[in-house]
Amino acid sequence: MRQDLDTLPMPARHLISHYAPEYYINFRKPLALMETARGCPFKCNFCSVWKFHQSTFREKSPERVVAELLAIEAPNVFITDDIFWMDVRRGEELARQIKAAGIRKYFTVQTRTDIICKFPHLIEMWKDCGSLAIFLGLESITDEGLNAVNKSNKAVNNVRALSILKELGVGYTPNFIVDPAWDHDDFARLRQWIEETGAYNSGFSILTPLPGTDLWETAQHEVTTHDWEMYDIVHAVLPTRLPLDEFYAEYSRLWRHALDVRYKHRGKWRTWFGLGAALATGKVTVDAVKKGMNIAKVFSDPQTFLADHNRRPTTGVAASAA
């Protein structure tokens, strides 16, 4: 395992220059991806990152990160670190050096809500580096749910972090884990939480025991299929408490509800006006918007997911009725 990430060769971005302009995130393109750190010190049971990296966390120096950013032409940069700002002092110094180098990008990062709650000044510093959007693995709205996946976090931090980001005007995309063992009331509670907090950009992953995770070790005997194409975190491969058609009806409703909440909190006119302005200024492309709208349409239809189950044989325990 390489301990000093600064000794890695610089990314050979010229090798992908012919299709790099097609990369996009949240309608924004062109997009460049870069890593500033590897690993994770936490031990979520659904994740294999910490096991792959043997519970280590290694970082590139601020100087190395700035050197890589200076070589990136794309205006949008997705930092792929599983937890950004793990080292607060490094996060501060990196922001200072990026600003001093005159680098301004639309950064998208991934981090934890407890980090945001403890160090909100980091968000303010990074806003000065251009624009900022944050992906947040909230996973659950209850401490019980967080403990079930070994998240090592508290539900109160999820609420407070969203409030901090709203106050600072920073975009965010929360993600939740949907447990196949949920009933109708569980889905309803999550919808209500999203509406109350205004978490309108939410995404939803179905709890999936991926090989290489602790969850796989404890739940592999329960899986309903070994068709690996179904292990995409938007299909249930564990038995569902609800009949499968009802489970997917609720799951698709979550995606529709998140869009409805966006219109309620931001306004439909403001949402579409903002998208139109971004198109006019070239910040997003028509192609990316079309793809995004198609994804929203597909995910809002439960038949999208049921059809895959109907085409593919299952193995092991079948989904049970409530």
How confident is the model over 94-110, as pLDDT tens digits? Answer: 999 999 999 999 999 99
Domain harbouring 56, CATH code:
3.20.20.70
* Residue 239 within a domain: yes
pLDDT range class, residue 298, cuts 50, 70, 90: confident
Q: Quick check: 178 and 139 in contact, CB under 8 A?
A: no
- Please count the structural domains in the chain: 1
The pLDDT value recorded for residue 179 is: 98
* Residue 247 within a domain: yes
* Residue 220 within a domain: yes
What is the Cα–Cα distance from 11 to 71, expressed in whole angstroms?
9
User: CA-CA distances (angstroms) from residue 77 to 24, 107, 131?
Assistant: 10, 5, 10
The pLDDT value recorded for residue 297 is: 83
- pLDDT above 90 covers a percentage of the chain that reads 75
Indicate the DSSP class of residue 300: T
Please determine, for residue 47, whether its predicted confidence score (pLDDT) is greater than 90.
yes
What is the Cα–Cα distance from 26 to 253, expressed in whole angstroms?
21
Please compute the mean of the pLDDT values over residues 115-140 and round it to a whole number: 97
Q: 22's torsion region: left (phi>0), alpha (psi -120 to 50) or beta?
A: alpha
Q: Quick check: 14 and 269 in contact, CB under 8 A?
A: no
Least confident stretch, 59-63, 193-197, 309-313: 309-313
pLDDT tens for each residue of 2-34: 789 999 999 999 998 888 877 878 778 889 999
The pLDDT value recorded for residue 261 is: 82
Q: Quick check: 308 and 230 in contact, CB under 8 A?
A: yes
Retrieve residue 249's tokens: 């009806």
* Residue 298 within a domain: yes
What is the Cα–Cα distance from 48 to 119, expressed in whole angstroms?
27
pLDDT tens for each residue of 259-278: 888 766 666 666 666 667 66
For residue 267, how far is the Cα from the chain centroid?
A: 24
* Residue 320 within a domain: no
Q: Quick check: 151 and 139 in contact, CB under 8 A?
A: yes
pTM above 0.85, yes or no: yes
* Residue 207 within a domain: yes
The boundaries of the domain holding residue 18 are: 5-311
The pLDDT value recorded for residue 294 is: 78
Retrieve residue 147's tokens: 């403990």
User: CA-CA distances (angstroms) from residue 36 to 6, 81, 283?
Assistant: 10, 6, 25
User: CA-CA distances (angstroms) from residue 321 to 166, 178, 180, 183, 240?
Assistant: 41, 17, 12, 11, 8
* Residue 319 within a domain: no
* Residue 317 within a domain: no
Please compute the mean of the pLDDT values over residues 236-254 and round it to a whole number: 97
pLDDT range class, residue 318, cuts 50, 70, 90: very low
Please determine, for residue 320, whether its predicted confidence score (pLDDT) is greater than 90.
no
Please compute the mean of the pLDDT values over residues 271-288 and round it to a whole number: 69
Least confident stretch, 26-35, 83-92, 112-121, 265-274: 265-274
